[in-house]
Structure 1
Amino acid sequence: MSNPYREIFRAPGAKGFAAAGFLARLPLAMAPIGIVAMLSQALGEYWLAGAVSATFALTNALVAPQISRLVDRLGQARVMVPATIVSVAAFTALIAATNQGWPTWTLFASALLAATMPSIPAMVRARWTEIFRDRPELNTAFAFESAADELVYIAGASVSVGLSVALFPEAGMLVSTLFLAFGSAAFILQRSTEPRVRPVEHGGGGSAIRQRPVQIITFALIFIGAIFATAEVSAVAITKELGQPGAASLVIGVYAVGSFVVGLIVGALNLKMALQRQLAIAVAIIALTTLPLLVADTVLLLALAVFVSGVAISPTFITAFGLIERRVPEAMLTEGVTWVMTGIGIGMALGAFAAGWVVDNFGAQNGFWVSVVAGTISLLTVLLGQRTLAGDGVRSLPAAAPQPAE
């Protein structure tokens, strides 16, 4: 039996843009926590560190879809070059402002401008789509990208904090900025795999967020992101309460590993079930597996429950992005993918806040009730949106291409 992952990398240029894209997306995980580590160590003020980091993250969540919309209209290189230059320059200014003790307003101004950082995962998925549009290999490519995203979030944050603690406060942000600069440059220079710009069809103007499938999937994944963040916050709180705070990183790592492994397996399968039904099943599994978390009162049980809870995360992302590819007009693909990723990020921010509030007021174990509620809302959203996500005729396919099974 052939390895489906080996097959997708036989496409000309695939190895190059995938490798460059991996490096360029590391700042997604490194920058937010890197800003906190840098400012908290250099200035000793956690509230300021958190505020500057939140300014960057929330602004990027709003700006990235607009940048991706321009990418769909003008092409990756024409938009990514100026956006990346502004972001790299702003990150450099933020590092300098921290090191030289510049006024506080310069920290916030730099964070605002740094938020022009493009959504590299969306750009990479757009290239895979250009190569494998309406072919089963696209599912494998999306699975690989979901696994890559998992690796980024597993390794990026720990590397950023580790560098800042081991070397000097600005080290994590410096390395993150270098990854963004050189990774993006390598990605942009690979013009042979850049998706061609497609004209906007009649009635297809405006933003991708006005498309019903994008709204449904983005809203559902806001709550999936909340589950992801709640697991991290609650794991830290519970292991501390149990007198084993060092076990938190192990528990969180198990969560990500479960999602990573199952995602790779799903990507290797050529499932025939309609994508909207696959999404409903994956989200249903996530919702059900939040329940054992409520009774996990030892580190071993917590690790086991968290592992089980994470197994359907990657399959959810894989099918969600697959639906975006099929249900959104081709001229809006990059923006559509970016809105979904923005939803995940917003959910993680809201989930961390909600879980922290519940833990502070009702105890560490009760933090997982946020996961239960979020899982239920996400499942209801997907179930109610099944007819829309089935999407008969939402995007016309080439006449010679096989129609996706519904």
Structure 2
Amino acid sequence: MSSSSYRAVLRAPGAARLFGAALIGRLSYGTVSLSLLLAVAATTGSYARAGWVMAVFSTVSVLLFPARAGLVDRHGARRVLPPMAAGYALTLVGLAAATWRSGVPYPVLLVLAAAAGVFAPPLGPVTRAQWSRLVTDPELRRRAYSLDTVAEELLYVTGPLLAGALASVARPAVGLLLSAVLVLGGTVALAVSVPREAARNNSAEEAASSSTKGLLSRARQPLAAAAGAGAGLGAFGLLAVVFAGRHGRDADVAWVEAALAAGSAVGGLALGAVNWRAAAGNRLTVLTALLGAALALAALAPSLPVLAVIAAFAGLAVAPTLTTAYLLTDEIAPPEQRTRAGAWVNTAFNAGGSASTALVGLLTERLPLSVCLLLAAAPVLAALAAAPSWRRTADTGRGVLTEG
């Protein structure tokens, strides 16, 4: 078996168990959003109220994501993940009970949604931190991150499909119960697969806390790239719905989303399969530029099929961009801060998406759609300002990074 094979990654001791447990747990995040939206809408009779519940859940989860990851760094995944998963699962069960029938006061739903956001376990950053421990070879680690990113994205495609199918034959609240079972089972299995870690002393915790600011400063390129990608994709997702509505039916946007996901999967797998000589920072610069350029092309799309083709082209850079951002952050962060550093990348991506969606929603009422599509590429291209400069070394001729 060639060392370049993805199978070689999963053959590393403990890798298959880690990967399987992470898939089960993270599938919960693919099913919970649509299930919660449908369940709240069904019990309140209002999609506006359902949207506010989703906003509370997402905002609390995103804002506290780095803090939860920091707890894992300080106390270890085995100690922290099971209580988080139990609290998260219980709040989902509470939401399922509250939305099973109408009549529960709306503020109760908001409180339960906020509680779910508080407890949601940081499964992605924990999984990526464990890949760094299980796979020491840099090439295999890149393949592990690529495989992990592609799998995570596919879960966010299949999760809503599963939730939608379940809601068509049962109450939407059943999807919340399924999400609770998935996250509890997957998180406990993931925690068990993680090696035991020694507790950190106070001086180590103080040192880690004091170095957080320095870590964020050194990681500005991957954080900017993640935030830009999140903003661009968030804006594009909303604009694609508007585009589909003007060129056919709103539901036809599914073809654009499927094309974007397919392109992302192909690009992510290709990133891991090819032996790259360029440094991670240089790769991230190129990938960010390609993603921004592809999104800008959407402004020229005359029809929905053409927009789907452009989305597939843009997708080729999505998973590679995120994977490389995580890899570069992993290189920068000390081992005791890898989970938190990965969480910051995740937070930057989600925050960028949330902010741009809200802004673009206002711009669509004031600007032509083609201009809005062009503006969707702006935050991605703006992230290039955080990229280090290139220089060439005289002895090797290979590109390396300097701060600039």
Q: Same fold (TM over 0.5)?
A: yes
Match of 1:152 in 2: 155
Partner of 1:42, secondary structure, is helix
Mapped contact 1:55–1:111 kept (Cα < 8 A): yes
| 2:100 partner SS | helix
Change (3 A) 1:361 1:35: farther
Q: Counterparts in 2 of 1:220-231, with a 5 A limit?
A: 220-231=225-236
Q: 1:372 to 1:190 in 2, by over 3 A?
A: closer
Structure 1 match to 2:282 = 277
TM-score, normalization by structure 1? 0.89
- State the 1:262 CA deviation: 1.1
- Aligned-partner Cα distance in 2 for 1:197–1:262: 39
Aligned-residue RMSD, C-alpha: 2.3
C-alpha spacing 1:275/1:78, structure 2 compared with 1 (3 Å): same
Is 1:232 equivalent to 2:234 in the alignment?
Answer: no
CA offset at residue 195 of structure 1?
A: 6.4
- State the match for 2:134 in structure 1: 131
State the match for 2:55 in structure 1.
Answer: 54
Deviations 1:240-297 (A, max 9, x none): 1012433210111101110111110111122121110000010011121122100102
Query: Amino acid of the residue matched to residue 367 of structure 1?
Result: C
Gaps of 5+ in 1: 388-403
Q: Give the 3 Å change call, closer, same or farther, for CA 201–163 of structure 1 in structure 2.
A: closer
Q: In structure 1, which of residues 114, 117, 135 is the aligned counterpart of residue 116 of structure 2?
A: 114
- The one of 237, 254, 258 equivalent to 1:253 is 258
Partner of 1:31: 32
Is 1:334 aligned to 2:346, yes or no? no
Matches for 1:351-370 after TM superposition, within 5 Å: 351-370=356-375
Partner AA of 1:151 in structure 2 = L
Change (3 A) 1:250 1:54: same
2 CA distance for matches of 1:196 and 1:367?
A: 51
Q: C-alpha separation between the residues in 1 aligned to 2:63 and 2:220?
A: 15
Amino acid paired to 1:107: L
Does residue 348 in structure 1 map to residue 350 in structure 2? no
Matches within 5 A, 1:6-405: 6-100=7-101, 101-115=103-117, 116-133=119-136, 135-192=138-195, 200=204, 203-206=207-210, 208=212, 210-211=214-215, 212-381=217-386, 383=387, 385-386=388-389
- What's the CA shift for 1:34? 2.3
**C-alpha contact 2:259 2:308 (8 A) present in aligned 1:** yes
Contact kept in structure 2, 1:42 and 1:169, CA below 8 Å: no
Q: CA deviation at 1:358?
A: 2.0
Q: Distance in 2 between matches of 1:213 and 1:303?
A: 36
Partner of 1:397: none
Distance, in Å, in 2 between the alignment partners of 1:137 and 1:169 is 41
How far does residue 32 in structure 1 lie from its aligned partner after superposition? 2.6
- 8 Å CA contact retained: 1:5, 1:141: yes
* Alpha-carbon distance change, 198 to 131 in structure 1, aligned in 2, over 3 angstroms: farther
Structure 2 residue identity aligned to 1:105: P
Cα distance in 1, alignment partners of residues 138 and 313 from structure 2: 31
Deviates more, 1:28-37 or 1:257-266: 28-37
What's the secondary structure of 2:27's corresponding residue? helix
SS at match of 1:12: coil
Which whole-Å CA distance do the structure 2 matches of 1:363 and 1:27 have between them?
38
Query: Identical aligned pairs, as a percentage?
Result: 25
Aligned residues: 388
Q: Does the aligned pair in 2 maintain the 1:36–1:50 contact within 8 Å?
A: yes
Query: Structure 2: which 5+ residue stretches go unaligned?
Result: 391-398
Identify the range of structure 1 (38-47 vs 153-162) with the bigger mean alpha-carbon deviation. 153-162
Displacement, 1:134?
Answer: 5.3
- 1:356, CA displacement in angstroms? 2.0
Structure 1 CA distance for aligned equivalents of residues 198 and 309 of structure 2: 46
How far the C-alpha of 1:62 sits from its partner, in A, is: 1.5
Distance 1:201 1:137 in 2: 31
The alignment's TM-score, normalised by the length of structure 2, stands at: 0.90
1:96 positional shift: 1.1
Question: Residue by residue, what CA displacement relative to the aligned partner does 1:40-66 show, whole Å, maximum 9, x if unpaired?
Answer: 122211121111111111101121211
**Relative to structure 2, which stretch is displaced further, 214-223 or 116-125?**
214-223
Deviation digits for residues 366-389 of structure 1 (CA, Å, limit 9, x no counterpart): 3313322112212222x2x458xx
Greater shift in the superposed pair: 111-120 or 151-160 = 151-160
- Deviations, residues 171-194 of structure 1 (Å, cap 9, x unaligned): 2222212111111122122244x6
Greater shift, 227-236 or 83-92, is seen at 227-236
CA contact (8 A) 1:208 1:214 kept: no
Contact conserved, 1:242 with 1:298, CA < 8 A, in 2? yes
Separation (CA, whole Å) in 2 of partners of 1:305 and 1:195: 46
Q: Residue 271 of structure 1: SS of its match in structure 2?
A: coil
Relative to structure 1, is the Cα distance of residues 82 and 202 closer, same or farther in structure 2, using a 3 angstrom cutoff? closer
Compute the displacement of 1:351 (Å). 2.3
Matched AA of 1:318 = T
- What do the CA deviations read for 1:93-113 (whole angstroms, capped 9, x no partner)? 111112243222211111111
